[in-house]
Every structure is written in structure tokens, then in C-alpha cells.
Amino acid sequence: MLLEGKVAVVTGASSGLGRETAKLFAAEGAKVVVADVVDEAGEQVADEIRAGGGEATYVHTDVRLTAEVDNAVDVAERTHGRLDVMVANAGIMGRGSFIPGESVTDEEWAKVMDVNLHGVFRCFRAAIPALRRAGGGAMCATSSTTSVYGALYQAVYSATKGGINALVRALAVELAPEKIRVNAICPGAMPTNIGQSFARSAEEMAKLMEPRSNLPEKPRMARQLQDTLDMAKVHLFFCSDLAAHITGECMVVDHGYSMWNGL
């Protein structure tokens, strides 16, 4: 097992990629702190892990609140003895997504920044002293392909993810001497609940995309949705000793979609 004896915090673990990552890490031997704001679903993830013979604790953790993020790390150390891995995964798109950049309000900008970018920073900041106490460890954020190419009508979301990549590289250099590795995965589109946070109807989306409707489609093969379990395996790779020599990497995982130039 790749995480035998390790203790991990996974944020945004009540749903989607975070849920899959928490369950995979537990199956690979980790004790997992399941951190989220949706308590019932989060408790259920922890229950499922325990029912499968693993160890897990759900902790209500709003990544916008320093005290709650610090508490999740405290729980890892107090309940499970140490912290070896932090997966800073919680994220939203918000009503500021899928609208023209000039229409994003200060409130929407601040809200998405606070969860996606500042939230990842709070998780990393809380984890560093605990990882140091454990003699080293791994942190991995969930970024996005929108951090590396121009994503239509996703100004604020893309900016948060680009910020994550820069943060990852800065901390990777800073923490390498202490054997604390910092990486990010940049997923393509996955079928999760994140669409609920921007809630645009099919008609609204079609109208928004109308001026672009004559552009060539990328090939169907490259457009397929990414499976959340396959994506969780990339978090597992970065957080395990398989990636012992990798830090500061922001890896695109999108089946070649952003690589293809459309020709």
C-alpha cells in the first residue's frame, strides 16, 4: 500500500474529487481527516472508510476560516498522531464563472479567491509545522487546466488556479530542504457537483457560447470528461513515495485536451 501508516487531511472531501481522494488514500493505508463544510456528506465519507476497515474522522472545515483549517490539522495530530499529507482540494466556480470578465463583481472576485486561492494557502500554512514535526511530507493542491491555457469566460476561476501554481512553486523551493514536497494537479473537466456553484442553465450557456459556435471543435477523443478516481490516483502519486523526487510540479491531467491545437 502506498500510504501505509500515513495521516492525511483532504479538504473538499464531501464530494467529487475530494471524496474520491479521501477514499483512495484510506484504501492505500492512510488515516484520513475528511474536511468540508457539507457535514452530512462528509460524515458519510468517513463512515464508508471506517466500514471498509479504514480510519477516518470528519471535521467541519471551512477553508475561508484560518481557525477551522488549523483545527483540521490539530485533529490529524491529536486523533491520528501526526500529519504526513495535506491535499488542498476544496474549490468553487461561483456566479463569477461563465460570464464575461468585465461583469465579475468585486464580491464574486473576492469570494472565489477566498475559497480557491486563499483557502489553499491557509491549508498549506497550517500543514507546514505539522509536516515538519513529522520529519517531512507532501502537500498537493487541486489546480485546473484553466491555470495554463485561456479558458473562455473564466477570468476569476482561472486567476485563482494560476495563483495556486505560483504558490506551489514558491513553497516547493522554500521547503525542499526540509523534505516537504509541494505539487499540484491541473485536471480537465470532471463530472462532479462543482457546476452547482455557478448554476447556469443550458440555455444561458448556449447563448454565452453563441459568438464562438463557428469555431472548429476539438476531436471527441480529447474532449472526454476525466474520471474522478483516475484523477485521485494522480494526487496519490504526488503524495506517495512514488514522487519522492518531485516537487514544484503542476501537472496537467486532461487526456491531451489542452495539448491539442485544434488542427
Ligand X SMILES: NC(=O)c1ccc[n+]([C@@H]2O[C@H](COP(=O)([O-])OP(=O)(O)OC[C@H]3O[C@@H](n4cnc5c(N)ncnc54)[C@H](O)[C@@H]3O)[C@@H](O)[C@H]2O)c1
Interface residue list for ligand X (CB under 6 A): 11-12, 14-18, 36-38, 61-64, 89-92, 115, 142, 144, 187, 189-190, 192-194
In the complex, what is the shortest distance from the CB of residue 130 to ligand X, in angstroms, rounded to a whole number?
Answer: 19
CB of 142 to ligand X, least distance (A): 4
Residues in the chain: 263
**Whole-number Å distance between alpha carbons of 16 and 90:** 10
For residue 7, give Cα distances in angstroms to 38, 82, 103, 207, 218: 22, 6, 43, 47, 41
Smallest gap from residue 178 Cβ to ligand X (A) = 26
Our CB check for ligand X shows the closer of 14 and 240 to be 14
Alpha helix locations (H) across the chain? 16-27, 39-51, 66-80, 106-112, 119-133, 155-175, 202-209, 228-239
Which amino acid, 54? G
Please say which residue, 134 or 143, places its beta carbon nearer to ligand X.
143
| Annotation marks residue 149 as catalytic | no
DSSP 190: -
Count of other CB atoms within 10 angstroms of residue 66? 14
How far is the C-alpha of 37 from the C-alpha of 50, rounded, in Å? 20
Select which of 58, 153, 157, 257 is catalytic. 157
Active site residues: 157
